[in-house]
Amino acid sequence: AVVIGAMLVAPLMTPLLAIAISLVQGNIRLFRKAWQAMGVGILGALLASMLVGLLSPWNDLSAEVVARGSPNTFDLATALLSGIAAAFALARPGLAGTLVGVAIAVALVPPLATVGISTIKGEFAVTAGAAVLFLTNLVAIVAGAWLVFRLFGLDAGLRGRRTPRWVLLALLALMVALIPTTGLLFRNLQSQISQGVHRPYARPLPAALRASVLDRVAQSPGVDVVFMAESEIEHGFGRKVVLMCPDPVDQALADDIRAILQEDSGDALPVKVLLLRGVD
């Protein structure tokens, strides 16, 4: 779903490649136009994601959104390889551009959408993490594409001439942006490893525990299980159950489910039970 959704709304791929080409060729006019297009694409993605956040009836962020608020160096590697693949496909038109589009879209659009959704929901820690991920991905994709274009000899127009000062300043800015964010992502990875937080961000509950929860839910007519797994809860890993209930919401059901989860895990894992009110 992430791949398909990102591919459908991927307005940022062409401008990023244009930025890389403009740096290789010293084309300041193309550089400015590409950044203008980038600005429009970023603004459009932010507004669309904020609208989705406003219209969504759920206050909790999904596991996919939370994942993009906790970036690490693997995300950086994905972006760098996406930039290299995109530039290679552009330099070699015979390659399948769709696969490259998927790669670069997944690296750019989801973190940008996460910024908009998490801002609306008031989850500013996730907003900050997703913003860092988007900035890092943007810089890494441009850097990877710039390297490939240089290797393919697209800098022929600058050979024998002095590199324009604005190109040198732009490349320096890329390095200045990439180095500290790389360090931050590496620290995030170390923290996630030490806390035992690894992707995927959800795994099934033990079979016996699932059966106990389903038995209790079966005693409440009209209640459906939306989500039941061990997943990330705020900034830790715990057991989470989400139920869709008729109106009025049965709070006793939530207490019983919470007791079942806590009895099984003791204090080893935090527990969270959410009741969603159904709409006819």
Ordered per-residue pLDDT tens for the chain, 280 residues:
444 444 444 567 788 889 999 999 889 999 999 999 999 989 988 999 999 889 887 777 776 777 777 777 877 787 777 777 777 777 776 554 555 555 555 567 888 888 999 899 888 888 888 888 888 888 888 888 888 888 888 776 666 678 889 989 998 998 888 888 888 888 877 776 665 555 555 677 888 888 999 999 998 888 888 888 887 776 567 888 888 887 776 788 889 998 998 886 666 678 888 888 765 5
Place of tokens 């507004």: 47
In order of their start, the domains of the chain are: 2-195 (no CATH), 202-277 (3.30.300.20)
In whole angstroms, give the CA distance from residue 157 to residue 14: 21
Kindly list the distances between the CA atom of residue 252 and the CA atoms of 5, 104, 255, 263, in Å, as whole numbers in the listed order.
Answer: 38, 47, 5, 16
What pLDDT does 5 receive? 46
Cα separation, 132 vs 125, in Å, equals 11
User: pLDDT value at position 19?
Assistant: 92
pTM: 0.63
Task: Tell me which H or E stretch contains 274.
Answer: strand 271-277
The CA distance from 227 to 63, in Å, is 11
Q: How far apart are the first and last CA of the chain?
A: 27
Cβ-based neighbours of 66, under 8 Å, separated by 6 or more: 126, 201, 232
pLDDT score, position 16: 85
What was the pLDDT predicted at 248?
72
- Cα 17 to Cα 160: distance, rounded to the nearest angstrom: 24
- Contact criterion met (CB below 8 Å) for 79 and 197: no
pLDDT confidence of residue 279? 57
Check the CA dihedral 45-188-173-154 and report its sign.
negative
